[in-house]
Amino acid sequence: MKLSLATRIFLGYALVLLTFGTVSLFSVAELHRNRLEIRLVSQGYLQLSQDAAALETFQTSQEKDTERVLEQNSVETRRALIRLASLYYSPQMAQRLEAARAKAREVLTFAPEGEVPFVMELDSRFGELSKNSQAYGHAVEAVFAALASESPSGDEVARATSELRQLEAAIGRELRVLRATLGNRIRERVDGAEERERRTGLTIIALSIMAIGVGVGVTAWSARTLRPVRTLIEGVSRIGKGDYSAQLGVRGDDEVALLAREFDQMARSLQAREAQLKSQAEALMRAEQLAAVGRISAQIVHEVRNPLSSIGLNVELLQDAVATARFDSTDTAVEARELLSAVTSEVDRLTDVTEQYLRMARPARPDLEPEDIIAVLDGVLDFTREELVRAGVEVVRDFAPGTPRVLADQGQLRQVFLNLLRNSREAMPSGGRLTVATLPFEGDVEVSVRDTGNGMTEEVRRHLFEPFFTTKEGGTGLGLAVSQQILQAHGGSLSCQSIPGQGTTFVLRLPCA
């Protein structure tokens, strides 16, 4: 089951809260346990120990009193003292033992389960002391009875006195053992509490460190999980500044990764849209340039072509006249004929230039007919064979079998191919290889013209189809612009790929018939 990013972050911080809560609960539980331990010792064992000490002191005083009584020579005095002891000691001892037993029973109400047997044993010992105390009272009565007779028997008094002393010794011994037991128990509980407090402190420190580690880990995990958000913000900022090449490349299947992938797709779409708009803007600018050139060209052709035709006709008449004229020397005649020939050549060149401007100013609408593109290429290559051979250019024809017909104006198409072949020949002044290939491509036919010339830089290639841009001395910069205009009128395209030092490839694309 996939969990959302918010759910995972919530669970992470819930784990942190659970860890710190565990530490807090453990601390509270240990504090409660220590409080119970302190109450057990201070309000239980310590008070019982004090009661046992008071009983022991009381018993010791009574033993001393008994010793003094038995040392009296007067029978009447001993009778009075023993009678007083029987009336004072037994009730006091019984009262104190009952209070101690009540305290032991009270300790049972809040003693831990492990201490219940010990407290019950204390209660049992206090009960035994109560029985011995009662027996002691009977022994005192026996001594009093032995002394109260008219003629007390020495053996009977000695026996009763011995039994009384034995009971006093037993009660005193039991009280000392009880007090020592309580003292040992108090020391054990205090030592255990100190050891437990030390372990508790170490445990709390360890749990706190673990909780801090869990908190730091969850925080680092959350920061790592949310790191793509910052990348996304930076990408949005770059998009806002016009940099549509921003790609986040965030992997994963959570919401941030999905949003990042959608952002990358949006950036690619915007980049493609920008490239399309830029291409359309460039095409519109070229169209405006061509329109301006057309208007200027039409005016120039109108103003130049007619005088140029007259100049050409007059030069031809002069050539005829010079051919029959007599000169003072042969050198003069040759010089006159060369001058007239040069004028004629320049007139023809200017006429050709005006024709190019006229074609750009008033491009003829193509008469599209199904044409065999391979036959057109063969015809152009055969026409330019001698020119290419003299330039040392090897021609390779790589025509794909079954190349379909294209919709084209054969005359305009030949004009484009002738222009491209001439450019390729001029790009290889020392000869080279010219490869002309065809390839069907997604409802179109692709024709590539590849040479092995010097190639061109990216800067030159970017301005290649702009009117009047040329790298050739004496060039007009109109050949490729006109060729691209013709291809666009055919519903096709003309593009260029070039690497400096490795040659240039022109790619034409025409729709199939």
Residues 389 and 325 in one domain: no
Instruction: Clarify whether residues 412 and 425 are in a common domain.
Output: yes
In a 13 Å sphere around the CA of 358, the CA atoms on its Cβ side amount to 11
Instruction: Judge if 208 and 270 occupy the same domain.
Output: no
What are the residue ranges in the chain where pLDDT is below 50?
none
Instruction: Tell me the residue type at 250.
Output: V
Would you say residue 225 lies in a domain? no
Question: For the residues of 15-63, what is the DSSP string, one character each?
Answer: HHHHHHHHHHHHHHHHHHHHHHHHHIIIIIIHHHHHHHHHHHHHHHHHH
**Among 328, 343, 362, residue at a domain's last position:** 362
148 and 13 in one domain?
Answer: yes
The angle subtended at Cα 492 by Cα 488 and Cα 498, nearest 5°, is 95
Final residue of a domain: which of 337, 362, 387?
362
The closest of 294, 296, 311 to 348, measured between CA atoms, is 311
CA distance 308 to 303: 9
C-alpha radius of gyration, the chain, whole number: 63
Are 342 and 371 found together in one domain?
Answer: no
How far apart are the C-alpha atoms of 257 and 279, rounded to whole Å?
32
Whether 290 is covered by a domain: the verdict is: yes
Q: Write down the pTM of the prediction.
A: 0.42
| Helices marked H in 40-153 | 46-71, 75-110, 116-148
Backbone angles phi, psi at 449, to 5 degrees: -120, 105
Domain check: are 75 and 167 in the same one? yes
Q: Which amino acid is at 91?
A: P
d(CA 55, CA 57): 5
Domain count, the chain: 3
State the CATH number of the domain containing residue 320.
Answer: 1.10.287
Q: Is residue 88 part of a domain?
A: yes
pLDDT the model gives residue 507: 92
Q: Are residues 44 and 95 in the same domain?
A: yes
Domain end: 334, 362, 390, which one?
A: 362
501 backbone dihedrals φ, ψ, rounded to 5°: 85, -5
332 and 434 co-located in one domain: no
Same domain, residue pair 213 and 73: yes
Given the DSSP bridges, would you call strands 406-408 and 444-451 parallel, antiparallel or unpaired? unpaired
Please give the pLDDT value at position 254. Answer: 64
Alpha-carbon 120 to chain mean position: 65
Statement to judge: residues 201 and 282 lie in one domain: no
228 found inside a domain: no
Same domain, 269 and 403: no
Per-residue exposure over 18-34, b if at least 16 CB sit within 10 Å of its own CB, e if not: ebbeebeeebeebeeee
Q: CATH number, domain at 442? A: 3.30.565.10
Instruction: Using alpha carbons only, give the angle 340, 346, 347 rounded to the nearest 5 degrees.
Output: 85
Which domain does 115 fall in, by range? 5-220
Q: Is residue 324 part of a domain?
A: yes
Please check whether residues 311 and 368 belong to one and the same domain.
no
Nearest Cα neighbor of 510 from 396, 417, 390 is: 417
Query: What is the per-residue pLDDT for 295?
Result: 67
Give backbone dihedrals phi and psi of 436, rounded to 5 degrees, phi first.
-115, 120
Q: What is the pLDDT of residue 485?
A: 83
What's the half-sphere exposure (Cβ side, CA atoms, 13 Å) at 390?
5
340, part of any domain: yes
The pLDDT value recorded for residue 475 is 61
